[in-house]
């Protein structure tokens, strides 16, 4: 029986980087060998192939036809199954290392156009103002309609320093938005941290990569050193985190929960699509790797946590939020997450290409499916710098064509805090006559800062942690 490398993804919606990716060996040859082939349908396929070869107005290369057929089969299944040519497969593997060339956006296909799931922080696309939910309709002067996702990604990639014009359809705008972006080598440091004030730390995970667990351990250690005492509270920022390597998500969760606690499990048709991943070293470490979570500062597993999420939090970040919520290890604050709850397996074909195939759904420790629903925060705090959830301008998994359904039911209604209802300790904001905040300051970063002092959601999280500290003192 042939052994092939199999990559398992439960994350990013696009091809610009992989999501929730693990590597193992699995025997996939001869699977379902007893399944009868659909002879009539295959005969129809060969007839169409022959007609195109003989009668099409221009000669067509065999490889182009076959690749188009493979693309069509996979694109017709769901928004996340896709064919990866040689370049696309290499890009996916390189992207998980934290460095790749391009614009810095996570994308998927919808109705023949490229839909932005999330711009990656500190990249050219992010700085140019590309937003989650944007629909890319032209690349330079070429319409996207009719392109495969892989072809669109190829056009967006290019030599660092070269420019590309994106024409974007954005909900809430009457005319297409045109942005010109200069390509760059995308280098992403997946964990950023700082001490907000004495006793309260902030950690931002921008994407789950190969070294995210190690970087988190270093960040927590540094925060405790900088504070010179155990932390009173910690903000874990997962906003606009589109996913990443699965072992990275397990590592981040394992840093805060009890050893061997269930983090996530998956269910699919085949036996190797069924996994139970716990907060155990074998589920987040590479072979022979030293356990970087072993010597975390004392108190990390007890420190009160507020985890921030929004509609750009997808897949691996939803796994972390769901696990922390189920284990009652963190208060989840923000807005409902993207809802990417399916598992994609990368199956190399053998000629340098691969297929990305949806093979399972994943579930939180309490058996909740995130698919097409997302994680509902315990406390909803809207971002005043973005459209309200009520405006329906966001894009989530449930909005994508041919998305998988959610196999289980709903959660209790969360507490909702809108900016105009904020407590006095929140950032300066004066409600207008219509009840909306007119004077909320825009998010601006000072040189060397990783989070804005005017970040309303971060300040609300800090207020909550201080309140919890007062209650614990009593």
With contact defined as beta carbons under 8 Å apart, do 325 and 317 qualify? no
pLDDT at 464: 96
Active-site annotation holds for 356: no
Contacts (Cβ under 8 Å, ≥6 apart) of 19: 9, 10, 11, 12, 13, 208, 242, 243, 244, 245, 314, 315, 316, 340, 344
1-15, 18-32, 82-96: range with lowest mean pLDDT: 18-32
**Catalytic: 326?**
yes
Kindly name the residue from 326, 383, 437, 455 that is annotated as catalytic: 326
Maximum C-alpha span of the chain: 83
**Catalytic pick among 6, 131, 340, 373:** 340
Q: What is the pLDDT of residue 157?
A: 84
pLDDT digits (tens, 9 = 90+) for 428-455: 333 344 444 444 555 666 656 889 889 9
pLDDT tens for residues 121-137?
778 998 999 988 899 99
Is 315 catalytic? The answer is yes
Categorize the per-residue pLDDT at 400 as very low, low, confident or very high, splitting at 50, 70 and 90. Answer: confident
Instruction: Give CA–CA dist 361/177, Å, rounded.
Output: 35
Residue 5 has phi, psi (to 5 degrees) of -70, 135
Catalytic residue among 313, 315, 369, 422: 315
């Amino acid at each position: 029986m042939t052994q092939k490398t199999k990559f398992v993804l439960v994350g990013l919606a696009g091809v610009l980087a992989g999501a929730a990716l693990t590597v193992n060996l699995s025997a996939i040859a001869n699977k379902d060998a007893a399944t009868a082939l659909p002879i009539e349908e295959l005969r129809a396929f060969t007839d169409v192939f022959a007609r195109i070869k003989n009668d099409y107005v221009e000669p067509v290369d065999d490889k182009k036809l076959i690749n188009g057929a493979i693309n069509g089969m996979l694109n017709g299944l769901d928004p996340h199954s896709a064919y990866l040519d040689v370049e696309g497969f290499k890009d996916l593997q390189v992207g998980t290392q934290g460095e790749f060339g391009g614009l810095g956006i996570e994308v998927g296909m919808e109705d023949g156009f490229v839909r932005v799931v999330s711009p990656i922080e500190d990249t050219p696309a992010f700085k140019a103002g590309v937003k989650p939910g944007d629909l890319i309709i032209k690349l330079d002067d070429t319409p996207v309609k009719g392109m495969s996702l892989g072809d669109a990604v190829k056009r967006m990639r290019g030599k660092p320093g070269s420019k590309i014009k994106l024409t974007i359809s954005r909900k809430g705008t009457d005319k297409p938005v045109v942005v010109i972006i200069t390509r760059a080598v995308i280098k992403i440091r997946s964990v950023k941290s700082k001490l907000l004030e004495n006793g309260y730390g902030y950690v931002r995970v921008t994407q789950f990569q190969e070294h995210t667990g190690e970087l988190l351990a270093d960040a927590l250690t540094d925060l405790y050193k900088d504070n010179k005492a155990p932390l009173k509270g910690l903000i874990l920022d997962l906003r606009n985190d589109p996913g990443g390597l699965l072992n990275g998500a397990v590592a981040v969760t394992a840093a805060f929960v009890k050893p061997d606690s269930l983090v996530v499990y998956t269910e699919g048709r085949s036996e190797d699509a069924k996994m139970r991943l716990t907060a155990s070293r074998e589920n987040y470490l590479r072979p022979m790797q030293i356990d970087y979570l072993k010597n975390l500062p004392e108190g990390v597993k007890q420190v009160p946590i507020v985890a921030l999420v929004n509609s750009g939090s997808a897949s691996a970040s939803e796994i972390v939020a769901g696990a922390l919520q189920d284990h009652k290890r963190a208060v989840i604050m923000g807005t409902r997450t993207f809802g990417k709850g399916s598992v994609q397996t990368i199956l190399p074909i053998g000629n340098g290409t691969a297929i990305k195939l949806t093979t399972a759904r994943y579930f939180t420790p309490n058996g909740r499916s995130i698919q097409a629903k997302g994680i509902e925060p315990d406390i909803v705090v809207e971002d005043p710098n973005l459209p309200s959830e009520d405006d329906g301008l966001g894009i989530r998994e449930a909005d994508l064509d041919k998305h998988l359904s959610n196999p289980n039911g709903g959660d209790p209604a969360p507490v909702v805090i809108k900016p105009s209802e904020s407590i006095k300790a929140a950032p300066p904001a004066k409600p207008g006559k219509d009840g909306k905040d007119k004077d909320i300051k825009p998010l601006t970063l000072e040189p060397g800062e990783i989070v804005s002092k005017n970040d309303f959601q971060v300040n609300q999280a800090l207020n909550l942690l201080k309140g919890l500290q007062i209650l614990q003192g009593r």
